[in-house]
Amino acid sequence: MSKGRVKEYDSDRGYGSIIDSGSGQKLLVYANFIDVKECKMLKEGQEVEYEIEYQRGENWAIHVRSLILKERI
């Protein structure tokens, strides 16, 4: 799984972006791709892990999980 930080996330609209730690690329994230068992909402600066999938001509973060929550367990 890749790791990165949330750049921005609009919870009202259900989408935002993540900056990948390894490549620095911007990935789109949509509410349906967030693992709600691990993370109910994304916040700016939050560390996350995810898989990258190419969709609709862009790279998307899918299966998004919070790293902070995982470290507490």
Q: In this predicted structure, what is the pLDDT of residue 72?
A: 45
Q: Are the C-beta atoms of 58 and 16 separated by less than 8 Å?
A: no
| pLDDT attached to residue 73 | 42
pLDDT tens for residues 17-71? 999 999 999 999 999 888 876 566 788 999 999 999 998 899 999 999 988 644 4
Structural domain count of the chain: 1
pTM score of the predicted model:
0.82
| Inter-residue contact 14 to 30 (CB < 8 Å) | yes
Judge contact between 19 and 7, C-beta under 8 A.
Answer: yes
Q: Which CATH number characterizes residue 62's domain?
A: 2.40.50.140
For the cut 50, the answer to whether the pLDDT of residue 11 exceeds it is: yes
- Determine the structural domain holding residue 28 and report its residue range: 2-72
